[in-house]
């Protein structure tokens, strides 16, 4: 499979990366080179093989049912959370006006 | 007095404990070496005061007769992918420029708790995406090594290129690295140092800027196997804040180091004999077999039949995870915001990400977005995950016949900066030997073996069973003792 300029523009829009014509023109052959190369995975017989997501067997744990059990990841850290925001306003993250 | 910057982790720790020198003297020496090495561009920011404060705390603890930690008095470099409280953390990207975390990553906190100090934040490939340290927003890192008779700047490898450059140049005794598809081992091999990626889950990922979460794993980079064992012990351990953290004890790897390999079987994977591999690398592999045999091991042939598919599978899985992880950089909560006049929220996202991400990062986000998109998900992503299962099964079967696997770390030695940028694929192929162990989550290490005909270092790779960092370190030690690798780069910076 290969991608054309319109497809790359669509992917870029899905990924929320603005790209001008020149950037799209550059990206098309690069993406096609990579996609053609990964195509070889199609040769592999994967009959009966389950897709692997976790490589090392591990079980997910439940944390103790306590509010703010971990001081670092619990609540009450509004100042820290907003400290790096480009536009913090009135204790919230500020964003441009959204009108639907 | 001896030049303290020539010492590694163990010698510094032992010397500080014995009172041969103070931690402050060590920190002062390394701070000066760092300040003198700006030409390497290994650091994005330097933190001499952090190193001095940690050193003073160690000296005070020693004076008070307190027990000193495993890394007491050792100043290290911190890859700028670890969040450090109050110190800019960028992942070498423009989008995180100026980001100053209000918290400390688990791994860096553990190192400070063990008595280490921080010389600065080390440069890397942007978001750890790269194999040459040429994708950083803060400029290329130079290797301290150069080809004989040439002054062309060479790649320190990547993504942990600041780490490898600093440790090889002796401006840091050790540094943290992270390895997603070879980012500890390949730079270690390029610069003649050691680096180990432990079993997936050994080191907490909490507070580490995420690239591909099912692959990312932190580890130490240093100049000896012993130093790696000590530092890995300080970095590893269960962390409830990371859902994939391994809930198991951390062995005392340093105490159990043993290079007597009698009764051990070393597997040689026949599929790693690939076209395009330098003859000098193949020769060093042969030499490695002889060294391990000399240490008492039996050499056996093993097969990893899906080796050639590991890299293409990786270049679907890692970008897919990256495209999801990097969705968080939206110009709202931290980092860069680009808000063109009169634009709305969606335009702000797109403009911010266009301005904040470098080309390689964009390329991988686009690939990841594409392979996860409706209609292509099964053909690409699910297929890659199945191939990943087969790669892991290959290793499982191989480890029925051997205890540890020996292979080259890279197909070539370091290359000049700027020489591999024609086509992204050529660069990807440099990780062909490193990626399979990453996909399988296995502990893997690179140790320096020899130098090639141009005077550049070559590394050998050891891959172990899950949780068997000890077996990897022991085989690494056996090679280290026999290789007698003492070459070091001549100072030009």
Looking at the complex, does the CB of residue B379 fall below 8 Å from at least one CB of chain A?
A: yes
- Testing the interface with A: which of B89, B358, B387, B466 to mutate, by most A Cβ within 10 A? B387
Higher-pLDDT residue of A74, A23: A23
Instruction: With beta carbons under 8 A apart, name residues in chain A contacting B369.
Output: 11, 14-15
**Do B388 and A52 count as a contact with CB atoms less than 8 A apart?**
yes
Identify the H or E element spanning B216: none
Pairing of strands B194-197, B444-451: antiparallel
Q: Which chain A residue lies closest to B316 (C-alpha atoms)?
A: A38
Q: Which chain B residue lies closest to A12 (C-alpha atoms)?
A: B366
Compare CB distances from A17 to B101, B350, B425 and report the shortest one's residue: B350
3-class DSSP state for residue A84?
Answer: coil
Q: Residue B49 contacts by C-beta under 8 Å, 6 or more apart in sequence?
A: none
Instruction: With beta carbons under 8 A apart, name residues in chain B contacting A15.
Output: 323, 353, 365-366, 369
Please determine, looking at this structure, whether the domain spanning B4-262+444-450+462-483 carries the CATH number 3.90.1300.10.
yes
Asked if B60 and B107 touch (Cβ cutoff 8 Å), the reply is no
Q: What is the pLDDT along chain B (493 residues), one digit of tens a residue?
A: 579 999 999 999 999 999 999 999 999 999 999 999 999 999 999 999 999 999 999 999 999 999 999 999 999 999 999 999 999 999 999 999 999 999 999 999 999 999 999 999 999 999 999 999 999 999 999 999 999 999 999 999 999 999 999 999 999 999 999 999 999 999 999 999 999 999 999 999 999 999 999 999 999 999 999 999 999 999 999 999 999 999 999 999 999 999 999 999 999 999 999 888 899 999 999 999 999 999 999 999 999 999 999 999 999 999 999 999 999 999 999 999 999 998 899 999 999 999 999 999 999 999 999 999 989 999 999 999 999 999 999 999 999 999 999 999 999 999 999 998 878 888 899 999 999 999 999 999 999 999 999 999 999 999 999 999 999 999 999 999 999 999 999 999 9
Q: Give the strand order in the sheet containing B444-451.
A: B43-46, B117-122, B75-79, B174-179, B217-222, B194-197, B444-451, B457-464, B404-408, B265-269, B298-302
Contacting B residues, span 237-256, partner chain A, CB-CB under 8 Å: 240-241, 243-244, 246-247
Q: What is the pTM of this model?
A: 0.97
**Do B246 and A31 count as a contact with CB atoms less than 8 A apart?**
no
What is the C-alpha to C-alpha distance for residues B196 and B206, in angstroms, rounded to an integer?
19
**Do A44 and B306 count as a contact with CB atoms less than 8 A apart?**
yes
- Testing the interface with A: which of B95, B320, B322, B369 to mutate, by most A Cβ within 10 A? B369
Q: What is the pLDDT of residues A3-48, one digit of tens each?
A: 999 999 999 999 999 999 999 999 999 999 999 999 999 999 999 9
Q: Which chain A residue lies closest to B306 (C-alpha atoms)?
A: A44
Give the active site residues of B.
Answer: 79, 159, 183
What is the C-alpha to C-alpha distance for residues B175 and B220, in angstroms, rounded to an integer?
6
pLDDT value of residue B256? 98
Instruction: With beta carbons under 8 A apart, name residues in chain B contacting A13.
Output: 350
The domain ranges of chain B are 4-262+444-450+462-483
What is the C-alpha to C-alpha distance for residues B367 and A36, in angstroms, rounded to an integer?
12
Q: Which chain B residue lies closest to A9 (C-alpha atoms)?
A: B366
Complex prediction ipTM: 0.95
Looking at the complex, does the CB of residue B152 fall below 8 Å from at least one CB of chain A?
A: no
3-class DSSP state for residue B444?
Answer: strand
Sequence-ordered alpha helix ranges (H) in B142-278 = 161-168, 185-191, 225-235
Burial class (CB in 10 A: 0-12, 13-18, 19+), B27: buried
Question: What 8-state DSSP symbol labels residue B272?
Answer: G
**Do A34 and B425 count as a contact with CB atoms less than 8 A apart?**
yes
């Amino acid at each position: 499979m290969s991608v054309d300029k319109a497809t790359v523009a669509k992917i870029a829009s899905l990924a929320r990366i603005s790209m001008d014509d020149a950037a799209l023109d550059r990206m098309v052959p690069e993406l096609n080179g990579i996609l053609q190369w990964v195509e070889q995975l199609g040769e592999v017989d994967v009959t009966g093989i389950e897709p692997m997501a976790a490589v090392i067997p591990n079980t997910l744990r439940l944390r103790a049912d306590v509010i703010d059990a971990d001081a670092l990841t619990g609540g009450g850290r509004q100042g820290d959370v907003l400290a790096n925001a480009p536009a913090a306003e009135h204790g919230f993250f500020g964003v441009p006006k959204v009108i639907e | 007095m001896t030049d303290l910057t020539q010492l590694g982790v163990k010698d510094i720790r032992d010397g500080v404990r014995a009172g041969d020198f103070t931690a402050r003297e060590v920190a002062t020496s390394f701070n000066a070496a760092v300040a003198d090495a700006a030409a390497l561009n290994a650091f994005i920011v330097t933190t001499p005061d952090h190193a001095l404060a940690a050193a003073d705390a160690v000296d005070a603890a020693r004076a008070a007769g307190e027990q000193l930690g495993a890394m007491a008095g050792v100043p290290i470099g911190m890859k700028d992918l670890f969040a450090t409280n109050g110190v800019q953390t960028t992942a070498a990207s423009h989008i995180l420029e100026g980001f100053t975390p209000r918290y400390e990553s688990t791994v860096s906190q553990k190192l400070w708790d063990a008595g280490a100090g921080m010389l600065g934040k080390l440069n890397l490939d942007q978001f750890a995406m790269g194999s040459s340290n040429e994708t950083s927003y803060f400029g290329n890192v130079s290797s301290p090594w150069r080809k004989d008779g040439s002054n062309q700047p060479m790649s320190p490898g990547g993504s942990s290129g600041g780490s490898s450059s600093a440790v090889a140049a002796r401006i840091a005794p050790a540094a943290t690295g992270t390895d997603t598809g070879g980012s500890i081992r390949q730079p270690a091999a390029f610069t003649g140092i050691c680096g180990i990626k432990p079993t997936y889950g050994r080191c907490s990922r909490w507070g580490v800027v995420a690239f591909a979460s099912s692959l990312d794993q932190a580890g130490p980079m240093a100049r000896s196997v012993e130093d790696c064992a000590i530092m890995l012990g300080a970095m590893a351990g269960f962390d409830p804040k990371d859902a994939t953290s391994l809930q198991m004890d951390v062995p005392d790897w340093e105490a159990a180091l043993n290079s007597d390999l009698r009764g051990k079987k070393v597997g040689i994977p026949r599929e790693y004999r690939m076209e395009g591999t330098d003859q000098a690398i193949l020769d060093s592999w042969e030499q490695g077999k002889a060294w391990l045999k000399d240490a008492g091991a039996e050499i056996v042939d093993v097969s990893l039949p899906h080796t050639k598919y590991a890299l293409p599978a990786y270049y679907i899985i890692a970008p897919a995870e990256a495209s999801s992880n990097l969705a968080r950089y939206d110009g709202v909560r931290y980092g860069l915001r680009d808000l063109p006049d009169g634009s709305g929220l969606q335009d702000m996202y797109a403009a911010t990400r266009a301005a904040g991400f470098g080309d390689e990062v964009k390329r991988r986000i686009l690939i990841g977005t594409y392979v996860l998109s409706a209609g292509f998900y099964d053909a690409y992503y699910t297929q890659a995950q199945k191939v990943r299962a087969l790669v892991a099964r290959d290793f499982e079967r191989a480890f029925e016949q051997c205890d540890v696997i020996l292979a080259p770390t890279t197909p070539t030695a370091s290359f000049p900066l700027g020489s591999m940028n024609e086509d992204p694929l050529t660069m990807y192929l440099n990780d062909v030997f490193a990626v399979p162990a990453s996909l399988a989550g296995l502990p893997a290490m690179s140790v320096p073996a020899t130098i090639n005909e141009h005077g550049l270092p070559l590394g050998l790779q050891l891959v172990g069973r899950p949780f068997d960092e000890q077996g990897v370190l022991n085989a690494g030690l056996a090679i280290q003792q026999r290789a007698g690798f003492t070459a070091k780069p001549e100072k030009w910076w």
